[in-house]
Amino acid sequence: MKFTNTPFKITLFLVLSLLHFSGFSQSKKQQELEERRRELTREIQQIGVLLFEGKKEQKSVLSVVEDLDFKIRVRKNLISVTNQQANLLTREINSNQIQISKLRVRLKSLKDEYAKMIVKSYKSRSDQSKLMFLLSSTNFQQAYKRLQYIKQYADYQKLQAELIKSETAQIQQLNIDLVAQKKSKQKLILENRKAKSILDQERSQQNVLISDIKNNLSKFTAQLKIKQRESDKIDREIKKIIREAIAASNKKAGKSSKSKVFSLTPEQKILAANFTSNKGKLPWPVASGVVKLRYGNNPSPIDRSLTIKSNGVRIATNKGEEVRAVFEGVVQGIMTPKNGNNTIMVRHGNYITVYKNLSKFYVQKGDKVKTKQVIGQVITNKASGETILSFGIYKDSATQNPSQWIYRL
């Protein structure tokens, strides 16, 4: 029988590589889930600080219900992610247990085979026996083959010993991993129980408030409609300014003023291209905050038959928080309506970013701004104590979803 250690080395390498890759893949998924869980935990902490701490006495029932609804949604996401982590750990634990069983069977087989080889080697251990085995060859070719056989057999013994050592180490490591995974799973289960308990409390609090609201639902529904009309009015003004800017750009370029897209200069084309290339990587318009209202149509937590339309996002932030331009550009316009909601619009080629609900301006129309340059300050609502920035993005006169443009919004 001819032995060669090359196939065994290749097999050993492939087995170890596959085990490593499988573990790496699962570990990477766990890391992603853990990162998401930490983000949600931080977001819940921020919600508590930005929307609830020191504001309970000031806030209206309507605001409290909206904020609780927001907090509940985030906590549900946290529970869901934690469940995913626990389920993945369960699969990893089961996989490791199966792998340990297979490795133990394989290890026993290797040890038995190795023991037989050691016995055989012991019986023919003398150098004289090996020499006689070579000298009894009928020709030089046979002697050479026998010499190769002796060498390969010795190499095979070493390889078997390496395999035993390697698989023993694998079992030990898998057992260590198993203990750690079981502890992690138990920790996640306990955290989820705590999160669910808090969620139940928040739901109960919300239900009590909603019950009070239902006694006078028409009043609160009217308030929501007024807020939506005010928001829609500002959005119409913003679109009007954008359309006027589009018409002016086309007139200057000698094109039809009826065009619905900007006519860009070579410099503006470069700026627009740079803005586009940074999609998903733009910085937040505030240094710290949480997204309270998403882009698009959002169901009202007060009256589910009502829809809150948002052309951008509403970010709850700290009192006195400064507003930053998310990209370099030129201040297209500044709005100061009678009902507040002061607004800055910054143009980036054929893109415009909008910053609403400001108390102060640090720029003027026509000013050039840089990325992250402070352009204003968010106003704090005296009635609710909340500091909310409304932020939007337009391409020509069409709204964009800011979450697709701002990094991890």
What confidence tens digit (pLDDT) does each residue in 342-358 have?
999 999 999 999 999 99
257 and 398 both lie in a single domain: yes
Residue at a domain's end among 160, 180, 214: 214
Same-domain check for residues 99 and 183: yes
pLDDT higher than threshold 60 for residue 9:
no
Q: What is the 3-state secondary structure (H, E, C) of 287-341?
A: CCCEEEECCEEEECCCCCCCEEEECCEEEECCCCCEEECCCCEEEEEEECCCCCC
Helix (H) or strand (E) holding 240: helix 217-252
Angle between helices 140-214 and 217-252 (to 10 degrees): 120
Query: Confidence class of residue 210 from pLDDT cuts 50, 70 and 90?
Result: confident
pLDDT at 174: 72
Confidence (pTM): 0.71
- What does the mean pLDDT of the chain come to? 81
How many structural domains does the chain have?
2
> Does residue 409 form part of some domain?
no
Task: Tell whether the model's pLDDT for residue 387 goes beyond 60.
Answer: yes
pLDDT of res. 4: 46
The residue ranking higher by pLDDT, 42 or 171, is 42
Rounded distance between C-alpha atoms, residue 71 and residue 74, angstroms: 5
Rounded mean pLDDT of 324-334?
Answer: 96
Whole-number pLDDT of residue 3: 45
Residues 73 and 103 in one domain: yes
Matching residue, tokens 């369960």: 90
Higher pLDDT, 350 or 30: 350
> Which of 214, 232, 258 is where one domain is finished?
214
pLDDT above 80: residue 10: no
Comparison of pLDDT for 24 and 409, the residue scoring more: 409
Structure-token pair, residue 197: 């308990």
- State yes or no: pLDDT of 341 exceeds 80: no
Domain of residue 283, residue span: 217-404
Choice among 127-131, 184-188, 358-362 with the minimum mean pLDDT: 127-131
* Residue 83: other Cβ atoms inside 10 A: 14
Q: Do 46 and 114 belong to one domain?
A: yes
Yes or no: say if 369 and 376 are a contact pair by the CB < 8 Å rule: no
One domain, residues 208 and 222:
no
**Which among 214, 244, 276 is the end of a domain?**
214
Query: Tell me, what CATH number does 347's domain have?
Result: 2.70.70.10
The pLDDT of residue 1 is above 50: no
Residues 382, 265: one domain?
Answer: yes
User: Which of residues 387 and 180 earns the better pLDDT score?
Assistant: 387
